[in-house]
Structure 1
Amino acid sequence: MKIKILTFEELNIDELYQILQLRSEVFVVEQDCVYQDIDGKDQKAVHVLGFEEEKLVAYTRIFAPGIYFEEAAIGRVIVKEGFRKKNYGHEILDASVTAIKERFKTEIIKLSAQTYLTKFYESHGFQQIGEGYLEDGIPHIAMLKN
């Protein structure tokens, strides 16, 4: 998988289209969750894109401290169905953590995890904090890497 890390301004139209298409495909259609994915935060994010050939198959967006949470943040972690057994989730998360360390000079990272993925995030050093909660009707838990 080839990783690209781009600000919103650096994204080309095709890359932006593929991001929105993948997020809609998984978060809205596959998870049967009607929610406002286009939330006005993409312009403030740095986008971590994972391509196989020219097709977007994995993605996250990352934020500097103080934009999404007080800490640096990772969100919209996603791997396209059919590519999930290739460890692309681990690759895209590792690339996101590295990008945060390099761009924002911090190792303290917070994310809001779907609860069924807590073991995945724990394998990358994240720890559950606080109580679980519903976000758009899906159980989540806050997690912190320190």
Structure 2
Amino acid sequence: MIAIYVKRFEELSIDELYELLRLRSEVFVVEQDCVYQDIDGKDRKALHVMGIKNGKIVAYTRLFDAGDYFTVPSIGRVVVKQEERQFGYGHDIIKASIAAIKEHYKQTSVKISAQTYLIKFYEKHGFAPTGEEYLEDGIPHIAMVRL
């Protein structure tokens, strides 16, 4: 079981910020062997959803309101620590992210840019593919929308 916390950028402690950036780098840069600019200047306007287990961030997303990234609210940087994926925390963090969008942004529509191998995962949460597959940082992605 993970505890979920939703915080604005200015509410994050230095340790939380360090830990979430480390987790994103560990998975997106090292594990996926993808060189890209993770620290993109967008974290300041995002809501940060953290899944905490034994005092450590093991799952994370960042959320944007309508107009900040897409025309509808969005979920991005969805990540679960590799050794924790067997416990279903990806599902927990997505459910919490959808709930946070409803609570903080008062909207139900959500758009994501999903890695294509995760289409079935996101479909379980009500997302449907839209448009054509594209490359983002050299990895196949597809836009998905939840109404």
**TM norm structure 1:** 0.99
Task: Give a deviation string over 1:64-101, Cα, whole Å, max 9, x none.
Answer: 10001001000000000110010100000000000000
**Cα-Cα RMSD:** 0.4
Long gaps (5+) in structure 2: none
Counting matched residue pairs gives 146
Residue 135 of structure 1 aligns with an amino acid whose one-letter code is E
User: Could you tell me which residue of structure 2 aligns to residue 10 of structure 1?
Assistant: 11
Tell me the CA shift for residue 53 of structure 1: 1.3
Structure 1 gaps of 5+ residues are: none
User: C-alpha offsets along residues 31-81 of structure 1, whole Å, 9 cap, x if unaligned?
Assistant: 000000000000010000001011110000001100010010000000001
SS in 1 for 2:82: coil
Give, in whole Å, the separation in 2 of the partners of 1:102 and 1:51.
Answer: 20
| Equivalence for 1:50 | 51
- Aligned position for 2:144: 143
Partners of 1:16 and 1:54 in 2: CA distance:
14
CA distance in structure 2 between the aligned counterparts of 1:53 and 1:25, rounded to whole angstroms: 19
Matches within 5 A, 1:1-146: 1-146=2-147
* CA distance in 1 between partners of 2:82 and 2:88 (Å): 12
TM-score when normalising by structure 2: 0.99
Amino acid in the other structure paired with 2:45: K
Query: Aligned partners of 2:113 and 2:124: how far apart in 1?
Result: 15
